[in-house]
Structure 1
């Protein structure tokens, strides 16, 4: 398997995982079938669409509709699985989101790198690809976006994207693995141990 084929399939895996994440949240919010598909699609392609528009590149799913089939398949399989469950724990959604975050960080950075952009822009685009779809998902579902909940989120993408960019000149396949695992392990650690970047000390407003 050549490197371009590997990137293509990793991209589809990220799309599928984020579609699952959107479907799980739609289930928790008791949405109808249309709502499920909308939330799955927005989660899966929102970040990549934003990245392509910023970089002035062709929007990936417009020119390759197999991405849409991946979203539909992932959503339908998740719906079938959920038919046998009455409840989905919040941790399941967080873990699915973390896996999608890892895939999209690497693929967003790789696409910007392939287009010839500066390494810093590649890292930022990896973060945009990973975070924006989930942010749209949470806003549409009337949740506080995970990006704003305090635990490490965007920082994990910046770290994973940086690792990918640093290693990619030596081996892109190794860079994929290291970028994925850096993002995923940091995010899972943040979920488990509530890691955060504290800027302001806790304070209480005084009232007179």
Structure 2
């Protein structure tokens, strides 16, 4: 599989799973169908829009192409029609979020590198791509963004983006680097939830 095809698949997958996560949050908040679709689309495309604007790729791909909005809308409809089946998963929003996080961290980093951004900046844009949709989703649903209170969230995206950039630095084939980096980010996020990993916090008030 070529790198271009792999990243096309990853972008579609990331948009869809983030759209699903946004729609499931909307369903739990008892939004109507329109609200579900709005939150699905916002979650699915927000990170990519911010990334493209920071790269100077205007208008963003989500506005130039029909597929990002279509894929995110399809995710919203699937969540609406198959809510019960999705809810049977163990913590579906967290699981979908983890997949989208890993996919967009790597895809965002790659696009930044293609635009000539140095690796540290590309990693930062990868993280922004990964967390942007979730932040907007949580704000629109009147929740505290997960990135502010779930410790291994942005850190998982950071780890995936760094792993991808480092692998390319050592001339690892791009498809192998991307697949490994996505799995690292997703696995780190899921493991942090499973085992309760957290970063140090300041002592609470007396």
Shorter-chain TM-score range:
over 0.9
Partner of 2:73: 72
- Aligned to 1:31, the other structure's residue is in SS state coil
Residue correspondence of structure 1 range 51-130 to structure 2 within 5 A: 51-58=51-58, 59-82=60-83, 84=84, 91-130=91-130
Distance 1:28-1:114 versus aligned 2 partners, 3 A rule: same
Query: 1:90 Cα shift?
Result: 7.8
Q: Of residues 186, 189, 202 in structure 2, which corresponds to 1:184?
A: 186
Assess if the C-alpha contact under 8 Å between 1:24 and 1:88 holds in 2: no
Instruction: Work out the number of aligned pairs and report it.
Output: 203
TM-score (structure 2 length as normaliser): 0.93
Partner of 2:174: 172
Distance 2:87 2:108 in 1: 33
Partner of 1:146: 146
Residue correspondence of structure 1 range 41-56 to structure 2 within 5 A: 41-56=41-56
Partner of 2:26: 26
- Aligned to 1:197, the other structure's residue is in SS state coil
Distance 2:35 2:44 in 1: 14
Give unpaired runs (5+ residues) of structure 2: none
Distance 1:89-1:113 versus aligned 2 partners, 3 A rule: same
Assess if the C-alpha contact under 8 Å between 2:106 and 2:164 holds in 1: yes
CA deviations over 1:120-152 (Å, ceiling 9, x no partner): 011101100000110010011011111011431
- Aligned to 1:167, the other structure's residue is in SS state helix
- The runs of at least 4 aligned residues of structure 1 exceeding 3 Å deviation read 84-90
Distance 1:87-1:104 versus aligned 2 partners, 3 A rule: closer
CA deviations over 1:127-181 (Å, ceiling 9, x no partner): 0000011001001101111101143111111111000011124211011111101
Assess if the C-alpha contact under 8 Å between 1:21 and 1:40 holds in 2: yes
Query: 1:203 Cα shift?
Result: 2.3
Q: Would you say 1:155 and 2:155 are equivalent positions? A: yes
Partner of 1:3: 3
Query: 1:199 Cα shift?
Result: 4.0
Query: 1:25 Cα shift?
Result: 0.4
- Aligned to 2:91, the other structure's residue is in SS state helix
- Aligned to 2:82, the other structure's residue is in SS state helix
Give unpaired runs (5+ residues) of structure 1: none
Q: Which is further off, 39-48 or 145-154?
A: 145-154
